[in-house]
Amino acid sequence: MATWNNLRDYIRSTYKTSTEEEDVFFITFDLGNMRSQMVIVSKQETTSGDVWVEISSPIGKLEMKDIDKALEFLDNRICGGMVKCGERYFVRHTMPIDGLSINEFEDPLKSVVLSADKIEESFIGNDQN
């Protein structure tokens, strides 16, 4: 996969998207045990025009006392960091799309989904997303 169009075609053929816009996909993963986790895959461009892919998964609202613990949980993960957008926290990973292989997309995708679900389960308790 060397372009956004290649990645878009791969996502369409591999996953059932719940919502799709031109440069954004929303995919919900069934994780079993009555848990699911939404992930957003979107096209991003750098200021120089390079195309990157962003994978983000919402974890909801965290209590101030839990933020450090959630960040420490992500410390040993290769993919994903935590960001705050409005009132919600997300696990997010962004990478250049040029030369991206399927595994270089799939591995971070799974890591982001599973990390977000674990943080949500551990600190929020219920499946908010």
Query: Is residue 98 included in any domain, yes or no?
Result: yes
Structural domain span for residue 43:
4-124
pLDDT of residue 38: 94
The structure tokens listed for 122 are 């551990």
Query: Is residue 53 included in any domain, yes or no?
Result: yes
The helix or strand, by DSSP H or E, that contains position 61, with its residue range, turns out to be none
pLDDT of residue 114: 93
Query: Is residue 74 included in any domain, yes or no?
Result: yes
Q: Which residues of 56-72 are buried (b: 16+ CB within 10 A; e: fewer)?
A: bbbbbebeeebeeebee
Query: Is residue 34 included in any domain, yes or no?
Result: yes
Residue with the bigger pLDDT between 19 and 106: it is 106
Query: Is residue 129 included in any domain, yes or no?
Result: no
The total of structural domains in the chain comes to 1
Q: What is the C-alpha separation between 17 and 108, in angstroms, rounded?
A: 18
The structure tokens listed for 10 are 């791969």
pLDDT at position 129 over 60: no
pTM over 0.85: yes
Residues 6+ apart with CB under 8 A from 103: none
Q: What is the CATH number of the domain that holds 58?
A: 3.30.1460.10
pLDDT at position 20 over 80: no
- Residue 75: how many CB atoms within 10 A of its CB? 7
The 10s digit of each residue's pLDDT in 64-104 is 899 999 999 888 888 879 999 998 999 999 999 998 998 89
Q: Residues 119, 63: contact at Cβ < 8 Å?
A: no
Rounded percentage of the chain residues whose pLDDT exceeds 70: 96
